[in-house]
Amino acid sequence: MLALRAERAFDGERSIAGPVTVLVEDGKIKAVEQGRPDVAGAEVVDLGTATVLPGLIDTHVHLCADSENGALDRLPDFTSEHLDAVIRDSLDRHLRAGVTTVRDLGDRAWAVVDQRAKHRQRVLASGPPITSPRGHCWSMGGQASGDDALRQAVRARAERNVDIVKIMASGGFTTPGTIVDDCQFTEHDLRVVVEEAHSLGLPVTAHAHSLRAVQQAVAAGVDGIEHCTCLSGGAMVVPVELMDALAEADIAVCHTLGVTMEPPPHIQEAFDRMGMSMAAKIDATGRMYDHGVRTVSGTDGGIGAGKPHGITAHALRNMIEAGIPNAAVLASATSQAAKACGVSKGVLKPGWDADIIAVQGDPVRDITALHHVTTVVIGGQIVTTVLPADRRE
């Protein structure tokens, strides 16, 4: 048994005044108690003035991507050994940032799908995203066109036991030749994929930058939308009717926020041409949240130098800038993200998986505390800590 003592806690939904002791046994949370009770036979870790909270979940990463510009385009040149090394490094970056669960939404050659169980973190994966011929991320190997091919693509993913099906409903900024503010599939195509996936027990999330692609994805019944940028006519356009539909269907929207530097000039030029900016994305994120749209945190980690792995704290800061309350922002990367991913994580409650982190400070008051992760526990085992030796009993 492990007993974690801390100044305070956030349980995935709300703050718990401290001091708090979290008891862990056999990989599960046994109890969350206020105070500092004596626990016979437990290894006690005194976290001092830290806050304990569920391990963070990044719902949108690309573990095969090496956090350098052009990462997705270079995937065909990677050997299997190189891919394995990139995946390990990507997960290490997330681990240092307190991310204990990642959802990979686009690999090459099933590299992430085939090694999900090899790593300390919980890894969920879609495999190569389904895309149109020469469409966005076509080099990952997911090209399909027509009803039969789309159904077969979904079945192939089910046979690989993927956790989610991803489809590229629009073009993307990182694939030359695709039209970002247009659709790659018809609404009928999207319905075929959704119906086939749902019949096999799999959720579907749609990459969608254009307004029309988002609208078609909602109409087709997807479970999630990635980016949800809503580009139309050289601007980001988010109609009230669309926000109503997203909220009514309880679709999980991942805005893929978080950035550490400016994009390469050709990407910035495309942003400017289409009327997309980080300020506009942050504004849209806040408006959707205020309208009742379910928001989950994800970063698109790995796709470029400004989008490296392990920047969840940056993405959550952007949500604060959007005017979303701190507790809701934290929930977007814990309990709400777990709900979207279908995993028993993201909350500090008895019976749930013991993926727990400690951060120095109080993120409910100051979200930048998430930049100071001191301890990471996965499955009830401490995998990294910066505690001095005299804090352990």
Residue 136's CATH number: 3.20.20.140
Running along the chain, 393 residues long, what does each successive block of 10 average in pLDDT?
96 94 96 90 92 98 96 91 95 96 96 94 98 95 97 98 98 88 96 98 98 98 98 96 98 98 92 94 98 98 97 98 98 98 96 97 97 96 65 40
Residue 344's pLDDT is what?
Answer: 95
Angle, in degrees to the nearest 10, between helices 240-249 and 211-220: 30
Determine the pLDDT at residue 179.
85
Tokens at 288, concatenated = 């959707």
Could you tell me if 364 and 304 lie in one domain? no
Q: What distance in Å separates the CA atoms of residue 318 and residue 331, rounded to the nearest whole number?
A: 14
Look up the pTM and report it: 0.96
Integer Cα distance of 30 and 62 in angstroms: 33
- Segment 322-360, tens digit of pLDDT: 999 999 999 999 999 999 999 999 999 999 999 999 999
| Domain match, 73 and 199 both | yes
Whichever domain contains 7, its CATH number is: 2.30.40.10
360 found inside a domain: yes
pLDDT tens digits, residue range 140-190? 999 999 999 999 999 999 999 999 999 999 999 988 888 898 899 999 999
Q: For residue 393, tell me if it sits in a domain.
A: no
Taking the C-alpha atoms of residue 94 and residue 98, their distance in angstroms, rounded to an integer, is 6
Give the closest residue to 59 by CA, choosing from 88, 100, 95.
100
Q: Same domain for 105 and 164?
A: yes
6 and 154: one domain? no
The count of structural domains within the chain is: 2
Query: Mean pLDDT, the chain, as a whole number?
Result: 95
Model pLDDT, residue 386: 58
Q: Which of 118, 124, 256, 121 is nearest to 202 (CA)?
A: 124
DSSP assignment letter at 285: H
- Per-residue tokens: 137: 């991320």
Q: Are residues 227 and 310 in the same domain?
A: yes
Assess contact for 110 and 160: CB atoms under 8 A: yes
For residue 40, the enclosing domain spans: 2-54+346-385
Q: Residues 330, 379: one domain?
A: no
Give the per-residue pLDDT at 393.
Answer: 39
Domain identity same for 336 and 351 = no
Asked if residue 392 belongs to a domain, the reply is no
Rounded alpha-carbon distances, angstroms, from residue 370 to 77, 137, 358: 35, 32, 9
Q: Are residues 62 and 190 in the same domain?
A: yes
Same domain, 47 and 78: no
Residues with Cβ within 8 Å of residue 74, at least 6 apart in sequence? 66
Task: Give the end of a domain, one of 309, 325, 341.
Answer: 341
